[in-house]
Copies of this chain bind each other. A is one copy, B any other.
Amino acid sequence: MLGVVSVKLILGVSGSPRKNANTDYLLEHALSAAAETQGIKTKTVYLRDYEIAPCNSCFACCTEAAKNGGQRACLCFQDGMEEVYPLLKECSALIVAAPVYFGSLNSQTKAFMDRTEGLLRYGKSIYSNALRNKVLGGVVVGGNRNAGQEFTLQQIHYFGMVHDMIVVGSGSEPTPGCYLGGCGTTYPQKGQIRDAVRQDQLALKNTAMLGRRVAEMLMLMQ
């Protein structure tokens, strides 16, 4: 119908155990930048607010015949992920934001990812292929300047590749600080470490770029 533009949802997922600290802040920054594009709405999920059991690799989601009318992405656990799955299905793009622990994703963020097995091509529910062809961007924060941020962004991208998503980096502005996505550091941790990234101008720049790039990619696919 003439003049009707569908609004697309970018879902932000924060994997930080700390409320309102660096990761949350950068994710909000990315989503705000994305929302400058007309036709974009955003929503944020804070993983710490949900009980999410680690996947135990039972593969019921991929092998058992659909139960309950195929409404459940995971047949093993009934936990917080049941609230997250519909958002993953609804969204057009996903921005995963996480702190870097020991050079890679903290276990909480990875637990969330591992529980999306039923959203793969093998899934036997309505969630099969739920993330396919959706746009993915990553935002990370590390305690040192080069503390595994890039490796962690590549880890997020790997997740996207398995889901057959469209993985984007931070876009085309000069000297982004990082090409792979939003990339912050709390070093040298002036003041409260929880807030340190707010003084990381380079992170603020490439994180906003990442948000805009995700939105731009959605527009390229209209």
In angstroms, Cα B158 to Cα A162, docked, is: 17
Interface of A, helix, strand, loop or mixed by DSSP: loop
What residues on B are CB-neighbors of A121 within 8 Å? Answer: 172-174
The 8 closest A-B pairs by CB, nearest first: A103-B158, A107-B111, A161-B169, A146-B178, A107-B110, A17-B56, A164-B172, A107-B107
Number of interface residues of A (CB under 8 A): 69
What residues on B are CB-neighbors of A217 within 8 Å? Answer: 166
> In the complex the two chains form, is B103's CB within 8 Å of A55's CB?
no
Q: List 13 A-B contacts (CB under 8 A).
A: A17-B57, A101-B114, A102-B116, A102-B158, A103-B155, A104-B158, A107-B110, A121-B172, A121-B174, A122-B174, A144-B177, A144-B178, A166-B166
| CB proximity to B under 8 Å, residues A75-98 | none
In angstroms, Cα B162 to Cα A21, docked, is: 23
Instruction: Kindly provide the distance from the CB of A58 to the nearest chain B CB, expressed in whole angstroms.
Output: 9
Specify which of B59, B144, B158, B221 is in contact with A176 (CB 8 Å cutoff).
B144
Between A18, A101, A107, A170, the greatest number of chain B beta carbons within 10 A of the residue's beta carbon is seen for A107
> In the complex the two chains form, is B173's CB within 8 Å of A54's CB?
no
In angstroms, Cα B77 to Cα A17, docked, is: 14
Closest B residue to A180 by beta carbon equals B161
Q: Mark A135-161, 1 if CB is under 8 A from B, else 0.
A: 000000001111111110011011101
> In the complex the two chains form, is B159's CB within 8 Å of A103's CB?
yes
In angstroms, Cα B158 to Cα A175, docked, is: 15
What residues on B are CB-neighbors of A176 within 8 Å? Answer: 144
> In the complex the two chains form, is A110's CB within 8 Å of B104's CB?
yes
Specify which of B56, B102, B117 is in contact with A162 (CB 8 Å cutoff).
B102
> In the complex the two chains form, is A175's CB within 8 Å of B187's CB?
yes
In angstroms, Cα B106 to Cα A157, docked, is: 16
What residues on B are CB-neighbors of A187 within 8 Å? Answer: 175, 177, 202
Tell me whether A211 is interfacial, beta carbon within 8 Å. Answer: no
In angstroms, Cα B52 to Cα A119, docked, is: 27
What residues on B are CB-neighbors of A166 within 8 Å? Answer: 166, 168, 217
Tell me whether A46 is interfacial, beta carbon within 8 Å. Answer: no
What residues on B are CB-neighbors of A146 within 8 Å? Answer: 145-146, 149-150, 177-178, 180, 183
